[in-house]
Every structure is written in C-alpha cells, then in structure tokens.
Structure 1
Amino acid sequence: MLKRNFTEEQNMFRGAYRKFLEKEIAPHVERWREQGIVDREAFTKAGEQGFLMIWPDEEYGGMGDDDFRFEQIIIEETANVYAGDWTNTLHSRLVGPYLSRFGNDEQKARFLPKCVSGECILAVAMTEPDAGSDLAGMRAIAKGMGDHWVLNGTKTYISNGINADLVVVAAKTDPENNPHAMGLFLVERGMEGFERGRNLKKMGMKAQDTAELFFNDVKVPKENVLGDPTMGFVYLMQGLAEERLIGACGFIASAQKAFEVTREFVMERKVFGKPLSYMQNTQFKMAELRTEIDVAQAHVDACVAQFNAGHLAAEDAAKAKLYTSEVLGRMVDEGVQLHGGAGYMDEYPISRMYTDARITRIFAGTSEVMKLIVGRDIFSDKFVSYIDR
C-alpha cells in the first residue's frame, strides 16, 4: 500500500481516538443495533474527549484546526470497529459547518459550544417523500411573519432524526414568485408544532436513528434563520462536495475493513484440504479488490488534499463518491461469496457489512446523479443539463 500523508500529530490523534473507540463505542455497537438508536452518551463522551467537532475555534470549545485529515482519521477508525451507524461525522462535519459558514456571531455563540460538547446533537432535513436528489421539488414552505417564520412541511429519511436537538431544515420561502428561493431554518427540540414520526426500520445501518419529521405551523424566530432566507439552495450546494468527500472516506474505509475480514476468513477456511486462499480464483478476486481499494484510496486522499487547499471541484467529489461506493459494493459482495454459507449469517461481520453498504450508492446523491454531474462536466460545452433548467 502507498504511504499516506498524515503528520505525527495526526498519527497520535489516531491512536488516542482508537483507544476511545475500543473503550467507549465498540462494546455498545451490538446493543445499539438491537435498540435501533445510538445512546446520546456516545456524543457527550466523544465531546468530553475532544473527538467531536474538533474544527471550531477554541472560543467555542474546539481545536481550531480545520485540517480535514483529522475527520478522515475519525471516519476510518470508526469504520474499523463496525460503528459506522454512529453518525458522529454527520453531526461534526456535515451539519456543523452550516453554523460556522452561514451563522452569525450570536448563532455561533448560542449553538456551537453545545454541539462541540455533544450536548446538542445535529441533523439536517432536506429529503421529502417526493423530493430527494431533486431539491427543486421540495414542498416544505416557510412564510415570513415579521419577527418570525411559520414553517410547514414533512421530511423523511432524516439521520439523527430521533436524537437531534437542532435540525437545519430547508424550506421554500417564495414558491409563487421564485421556486428556487429557499431558507435554512434552525428548528430546536421542543418547538411547538415540531413532531417526530417513526424511527424507520431499515435494511442496514440498524443503529442509526432515521426518522420522519413533521412541521405544523412551527414558529421559527428570525434569529434562527441561517444567512439569507432566499439563498438556502446555494448554501446547500456549497456543502455537497464536502458531504460526498465524507461519504467517500467512509466507503473506502469500510471496503478496507471488509477486505481484511475476508482475507482472514479465506486464510483459515479449508476447502478440499487446503486453505481457500490457496485457490487461484480466490487470489485473483482478492488481487482485483486490493487494487481497486488502493486506487480509490489514492483518489480520496488527493481529494482531501484538494479540499484542504480550498478548491475541491464538485465533479471530483462526485467521482470519489461514485467510485468508492461502487468499490465497496463489489468488495462486500465478493466478501459474502468467498465466505460461502457463513457470509449469509449475521454473526459474521461481512453479512451486516453487506446490508449496511447498500445505502452508500443512494444517499448523498445516487450513483446515477453522480454520473450526471461527471457527464455534465465532460460535455459542459456541448449541452445544457435538465438539472440546470
């Protein structure tokens, strides 16, 4: 494997975080999967140790270091203990930055310290029953009423939907005159009219609370609007490259873990008196997967470097998300096949990794949408995509 570019400080951080996971997170993963939700204490314990939202300035309780490689380490090590269901990175690097990028000083002071400590758990609500990747189809509406907004709508498939104390909700603010005018509203736990539906049953990611959210005449004070209430669509687009990079880091880390457990199994499993790893088919399959994982990891690391430099292109993030999710899908499928009957048994990690992995080609933009983004870039001077109309 190629040598990766982490500093001595980051390697020390990795070791400390690994110990934290082994003590505070890994022993509870099975119970969390059974109960369908991660204990809130997982967030507060991570916050106490400085492993949650490490990038905010010290005045808010963070490290003040925005190097994405720290989060990359968190993502990789979390996957290594089968705790990908714990949406700590969604809280820390997907939703949290909306507060710092578009929030004012008062909003940052009010929310960031509690987010850093884990006391306030974050979620973002974009997806609706009839609007997923196509945000233009959103039906949630917020109506301005002077000193407050009245929010109505339904959101679904919201990660952290049950645990969340603060939800960044996207809603249209001028649907009649400007269908693209959208605001981001900070809806807090306990606001009248804000209700949660079921903790949805899923194929995989069993410990991740995924819920329906309902907003019925919710009065959102103007102090809880992020930035310009007509620019929410633009704000969301600015965060998509990072969201897809987060996904790519997690997908390739999971593929690496699936490779490791499969390698261990085929070295121990005997077929016709010999280890399965002696078979040429096994060696060829594993060689192909090793190559794909390493190539994908090199691209992801390059994207991280580009992101840190401030110029990760949307199409490169889309390529990373597309390819790593597809590599993970191939890895877990071959892993189950090489495990034979054991691969279908839930007691073997590869079984649950297989079902957990299926969603990766859907969330943060489906593989088909990623192909549209890349294809549009390839032919940008030849046609106008329907997405732009």
Structure 2
Amino acid sequence: MNHPYLQEEHDIFRKSLRKFLEKEAYPYYEKWEKDRMIPRSFWTKMGEQGFLCPDIDEKYGGSEVDWGFAVVINEELERVGSGLIGVGLHNDIVVPYITAFGTEEQKSRWLPSCTTGKTITAIAMTEPGTGSDLANIKTTAKLEGDYYIVNGEKTFITNGIHADLVIVACKTDTNIRPKHKGVSLLVIERDHPGFSRGRKLDKVGLHCQDTAELIFEDCKVPKENLLGDEGKGFLYMMDKLQQERLVVAIAAQVASEEMLGMTIEYVRSREAFGRSISQFQNTQFKIAEMATEVEMGRAFLDQLIAEHMDDKNVVTKVSMAKWKLTETARSIATQCMQLHGGYGYMEEYKIARRYRDIPVASIYAGTNEIMKTIIAKKLGL
C-alpha cells in the first residue's frame, strides 16, 4: 500500500526488514507462541540490524530518521503476529519518555543499550486495583536521603519478564490535591534491591508476548533516576499517550488487512456445493463490507500518521482511530473466522490466532470507553 508520508528510503528499509523477519521471525513464531516467550536473542538481532529505536540521535546509537521508519517497523512486525507488540512498546512508547524528559546523563546511560537490544524496556502504570484512573495509583515513592523507597504492585505489564529498565508511575506526594499532581515517574532497573517479578500472566491471546506482575518492596531507587520533574508524571503520561494509542491503531489496521487477505484467499480455494464459496452472494457481501471498512480505516489512519509526524495535536483523532480501528479489527476477526467455517477454529489456521489476539487492543492503552469519553470532551460535550 502506498502511504503518502513514506518515501523511497522507507520502501528500501521495509524490504530489508521483511527479509530479516522472513529469516529470523516467521519460521519461529509458532514455536514462540508455544513457548509463551520471544527469546532475547531476537531483540539483539533486531538491534544489530538497526531496527530498535532508529529515530533517536546518532550519539545514542540511533539513526535520527523520521517516524515513518517506526510505522514501517510496527506494520511489518504486526504482519508476523500481534505478539511482537512489545518491540513497538519499547521503540515508540517507553524510549520516547527518556528522549523527551530525561537528562543528558540519563540519555547517555540508558539509550545506547536500548538500541542494541541489551536493555529491554517497559512502562508500569496499571495496578491490580487501578486501570485507567491513573491519578489514583497506590504505588508510593518516598524520598529518603539519596534514594526513593518504592512500595507497590503493577500488573499487565508488557515486556514485564524481559524488562531491564521500567518506567514506573508512582505517588511521590499522597496528600496533594488534585491527586494527579502527586504522580511522578521513576526509572527502576533490574538490579535495584526490592524489585521482583510476580507471575508471568497467562493470557487468552498474545501468547508469545511476555506480560507480568511487578512487585516493589522497599525498592531502593537512586534519586537520579527520577524522570523529569517530581509531580509531573501524570502530565508526561498524557503527553505520550497520543503516540501509544496511534501505535495500537496501526497494529489493528494491519491485523484487519491481514485477516481480510487470508480470508479472500481461503474463500476462493474452498468449495461447497460444487463451486467456490467466494461465488456465494453472502460471502461476496461480507467481503465487500469488510474491504470497504479496511480501505476507509487506512485512509483515515494514513492522514492521522502524517499529521502526527508534522507534530500536530491529534488527540481527538487518535482517540477516534484507536477506538474505531480496534473495534473494526475485532468485528473482522469474527466474520473472517465464520467464513473459514470449522477450519477457522483450528489452530493450524492463522485466523484462529488473530481471533484470540485482537480483542485486547480495545482494552490496553486506554479502553475504548475511555476513548469515547475523550472524544466527547474534545467536542465540547
């Protein structure tokens, strides 16, 4: 598909990435699904080829390219499988917090290893009792001398098992009002005393993507690991959620395109009552409806990406895209499985995995109900 914001260099990059994935990802993806884990060796291979954090400054190991390269990476990883979403989280969600709000010392300390895959990152917002209501998180960080003492739990953390560096949302002031002014971001590293992993969570889908609970028990974190200013963590998260939700929308759109493509191929080859099931009017109408939704979704998404790359404020449109494209993908997954008949329910057919993987996209990065709340607010309702 010809995206208007991509140039020849992006196409060359895409071909290189596809060649890499055909060798290093596609042949092993089903094994990763069964193992419930993507090996760290895949991360280091991604880093060696320049596919991790390519947009950051060259002095930190990046290539200083535009965000169009990130779009290419996210699209091609999603084509392999939704379980690779952790790479997009590392590249386009966690690391940008460091590049935007980190000090020069912090950037020099952490970013180079993020580009090589030696350091895998995560961001910890959600807690067992707190999802979208980030102002009411319970994890606390109390400054004692040169260290913050962190106590609390986080859950549903993408890259939670592999993560060497976690940006943790915590309360540095539990008394201030409004409550969101007490939220700060601390960067907690693997070797900090008091930091441990809880369960590796067993999910309905995204089987190869490691998701875990994180536990902080009197975790001792140097005060130099405060990211940005104390008390501004909530504002930082609101600022970065625009790109996070755009990454989710991109993945949902690609998933829809993939599911539609595999289903068209299937209905052409499958016969019933002496002819291809693609010749039945019901099949044709279903395919026509889905193809129209996919085309309209792509047109809106491409415009949105271009505006985001131009640094425009597209919070409203991003919320629309995250909501609509994930809902569309979930609907398409259901319809495509139905068109596959009994075979669609078999693990050997990729539509079964897509059917499992796609529903969570309407939950993470802010539920679709929250997206509608944001849209309504921005429309002045």
Q: TM-score range by the shorter chain?
A: over 0.9
Report the equivalent of 2:287. 286
Any stretches of 5+ residues in structure 1 without a counterpart? 383-389
CA distance in 2, matches of 1:130, 1:287: 43
Residue type at the aligned position of 2:51: F
Superposition pairs of residues 179-218 of structure 1, within 5 angstroms = 179-180=179-180, 181-218=182-219
Any stretches of 5+ residues in structure 2 without a counterpart? none
Report the equivalent of 1:387. none
Report the equivalent of 1:54. 54
**Residue 11 in structure 1 maps to residue 11 in structure 2:** yes
**Residue 117 in structure 1 maps to residue 119 in structure 2:** no
CA distance in 1, matches of 2:313, 2:329: 22
CA deviations on 1:96-145 (whole Å, 9 max, x unpaired) are 10000000000000000000011000000000011111112210011111
**Residue 24 in structure 1 maps to residue 24 in structure 2:** yes
CA distance in 2, matches of 1:114, 1:298: 36
Whether the 8 Å contact between 1:125 and 1:167 is mirrored in structure 2 is yes
Whether the 8 Å contact between 1:76 and 1:250 is mirrored in structure 2 is yes
Residue type at the aligned position of 1:17: L
Report the equivalent of 1:85. 84
Report the equivalent of 2:156. 157
Further displaced range: 135-144 or 106-115:
135-144
Q: How many residues get paired?
A: 379
**Residue 96 in structure 1 maps to residue 95 in structure 2:** yes
Q: Secondary structure at the match of 1:34?
A: helix
Q: Percent identity?
A: 44
State the Cα distance separating 1:4 from its structure 2 match. 4.1
Superposition pairs of residues 1-389 of structure 1, within 5 angstroms = 4-65=4-65, 67-82=66-81, 84-178=83-177, 179-180=179-180, 181-378=182-379, 380=380, 382=381
State the Cα distance separating 1:177 from its structure 2 match. 2.4
Q: Secondary structure at the match of 1:96?
A: helix
CA deviations on 1:232-268 (whole Å, 9 max, x unpaired) are 0000000011001000011100110001111110000
State the Cα distance separating 1:69 from its structure 2 match. 1.5
Residue type at the aligned position of 1:136: A
CA deviations on 1:127-185 (whole Å, 9 max, x unpaired) are 00111111122100111113111111000000000000000000011111242211111
Whether the 8 Å contact between 1:195 and 1:215 is mirrored in structure 2 is yes
CA distance in 2, matches of 1:320, 1:177: 35
Residue type at the aligned position of 1:346: E
CA distance in 2, matches of 1:157, 1:83: 16
State the Cα distance separating 1:305 from its structure 2 match. 0.8
CA distance in 1, matches of 2:268, 2:361: 28
CA distance in 1, matches of 2:78, 2:264: 17
Whether the 8 Å contact between 1:86 and 1:207 is mirrored in structure 2 is no
State the Cα distance separating 1:2 from its structure 2 match. 6.8
Further displaced range: 122-131 or 69-78:
69-78
CA distance in 1, matches of 2:213, 2:318: 28
TM-score, length-scaled by structure 1: 0.95
CA distance in 1, matches of 2:2, 2:69: 19
What's the C-alpha RMSD, in Å, of the aligned pairs? 1.2
CA distance in 1, matches of 2:3, 2:11: 13
CA distance in 1, matches of 2:377, 2:170: 27
State the Cα distance separating 1:6 from its structure 2 match. 1.7
CA distance in 1, matches of 2:313, 2:360: 24
Residue type at the aligned position of 1:175: T
CA distance in 1, matches of 2:262, 2:314: 34
Q: Secondary structure at the match of 1:303?
A: helix
Further displaced range: 154-163 or 25-34:
25-34
CA distance in 2, matches of 1:5, 1:322: 23
Q: Secondary structure at the match of 1:208?
A: coil
